[in-house]
A = this chain, B = another copy of it.
Amino acid sequence: MKNKTRVVLNLDAVIVAVTRHHPRILTVSAKQNLPAIPSGPLHREDATLERSLRGWIEEQTGIEVGYVEQLYTFGDIQRGLPGAPNNPRSISVAYLALITEEHPTTSSASWINWYELFPWEDHRNGIPDILTKHLRPALATWAGNNAERNERVITAFGSDNRWDGMRVLERYELLYEAGLVKETSTRDALPESISGVPMAFDHRRIASTALGRMRGKLTYRPVVFELLSDTFTLLTLQRTVEAIAGVPLHKQNFRRLVERTRLVEGTGQRTNSPAGRPAELFRFRSEVLLERPRTGIGVPYR
């Protein structure tokens, strides 16, 4: 073996909760007061990365996370501090962690709405103006008549009737490259109300990876339930899905789907709602873990 690069390994966690239909992630404050994703070390004693991760999350925040999934490993050189070239290389293994409630925050930690980071991703009330009035024009300017750029813009941002919710990372990276977000700190950067709240380091990239992954997963695995308490109403379920997916859903059809796939079962109980007809409380049928494989390109064998 020749030159082994010296490496420092960190475990980053995008900790997600959905509270009152707002999808939120936990942040701590880093240099220049920018929010950052919490991060911790790999402990020598821990047999697996995930165990270390759970460990420091609980130490630092008191939260015992439920569902955890590895997201991506970031190791680009820009991550290392700009200083001496002999600095060890910084490698981050990023995880997605889901919890069922918004926990009390410690002094240094706070929750931030995912759509404050990515305002253009929230289509629950239709196509956001931010997109049509600001971002797309700005991107068009950036692309000019560079064919490749234009194609990338189209692919990532689609047109109004072709919006792929999963391409969150692609979109953020494009905005980054176009110098439209604060992280690039060019004078082209749009105001935060449009380009979203900047984060420290490349953490907004990590957050966008997480959102994209969640949206993807949603379509073929019942991850929503990791965000809900034991029992919930169907409407809450729907709103939670909408919060992640970023699009409105047709109520009747949603219920039809949920029924058909038999994802949940009713407890007899009902909510005592503040107003309106009380809703029935449901619980997740964990038997469904062997649920329908993804529907997709002509692979039969259901």
Contact of A245 among B43, B290, B299 (CB under 8 A): B299
Contact of A247 among B41, B164, B301 (CB under 8 A): B301
Please count how many residues in chain A sit with their CB below 8 Å of the partner chain's CB atoms.
Answer: 62
Least CB separation from A86: chain B residue: B44
Contact of A249 among B78, B154, B290, B298 (CB under 8 A): B298
A210 to chain B, nearest CB (A): 15
| Residues of chain B contacted by A162 (CB below 8 angstroms) | 290, 293, 302
Least CB separation from A286: chain B residue: B151
A10 to chain B, nearest CB (A): 9
Enumerate A31-53 residues with CB–CB distance to B below 8 Å. 41-44, 46-49
Question: What mask results when residues 246 to 266 of chain A are scored 1 for a CB within 8 Å of chain B, else 0?
Answer: 010110011001000000000
Contact of A298 among B3, B75, B216, B254 (CB under 8 A): B254
Does A2 lie at the interface of the complex (its beta carbon under 8 Å from any beta carbon of B)?
yes
Least CB separation from A290: chain B residue: B155
| Residues of chain B contacted by A49 (CB below 8 angstroms) | 73, 75-76
| Residues of chain B contacted by A253 (CB below 8 angstroms) | 298
| Residues of chain B contacted by A215 (CB below 8 angstroms) | 299
A268 to chain B, nearest CB (A): 26
